[in-house]
Amino acid sequence: MKPYIFSAMLLTAVFGATGNSNAQSSSKGFTKLFDGKTTAGWHTYGQKTAGAKWDVEDGALHCNTKNTGGGDLVTDKEYGNFHLKVDWKVAPKANSGIIFYVHEDKPKYGATYSTGLEMQVLDNEGHPDGKITKHRSGDLYDLIKSSSEPVKPVGEWNTAEIISKNGKLELKLNGVKVVQTTLWDDQFKALIAGSKFAKWPDFATFKTGKIALQDHGDEVWYRNIMIKEL
């Protein structure tokens, strides 16, 4: 046996196939929030089940604009300190978002964004919000502009990460940290005071809550949704 063939076999035996090893390590400690087949574990905000507008297409949750029965999709469970990972892609001119720390009380709070913070999901070039500062993909919506824009072209998959622990918040897009801040302190309250949420008394005040996928009336897909409680 040639030495280089033996070396390759030895490395494979010790470390495993490269792709599989990376995939296993990246999901270690995470729990799937989406089984790839059904809307189990999710429901429409303020309802008991998921509306028909959310279907499953090729292993992804799909906001299907051809169907009725819409509304933001939220997790059945609440989360405090967590690391969320989710892949997303949008159709041309589409707008959506990943909303977190949602306090579900629809009679009091009419929408998920009445209480929850949002990581923007958007066709930056095709949707009007792309022309508004702090409204582009990866931004902490209307609060903090992303430090860079590693977003992929429309129709391609992006990976978003939201890491929140004891008030320290990080947003990542395609492996790049794009937002870093501290929640709930005086500086953060000042950001809210200067935003569209200034007169919303309970916005971004809850330290546990549900995670939502926004139905903004446009076509969007989410897959590989997983979370680690910290």
Would you list the domain boundaries of the chain? 1-29, 33-229
- pLDDT the model gives residue 27: 76
| DSSP-assigned letter for residue 115 | T
- pLDDT the model gives residue 28: 87
Fill in the amino acid letter for 60: A
- pLDDT the model gives residue 18: 35
Residue numbers of the chain with a pLDDT score lower than 50: 1-25
- pLDDT the model gives residue 49: 97
- pLDDT the model gives residue 12: 38
Beta-sheet strands, E only, within the chain: 31-32, 42-44, 54-57, 60-63, 73-75, 82-90, 95-102, 117-122, 158-165, 168-173, 176-182, 210-213, 220-229
Cα 223 from Cα 12, distance rounded (Å): 30
- pLDDT the model gives residue 26: 54
Instruction: List the CATH code of the domain at 33-229.
Output: 2.60.120.560
Q: Could you read off the pLDDT of 186-198 as tens digits, one per residue?
A: 999 999 999 999 9
Work out the end-to-end distance of the chain between its first and last CA atoms, rounded to an integer number of angstroms: 48
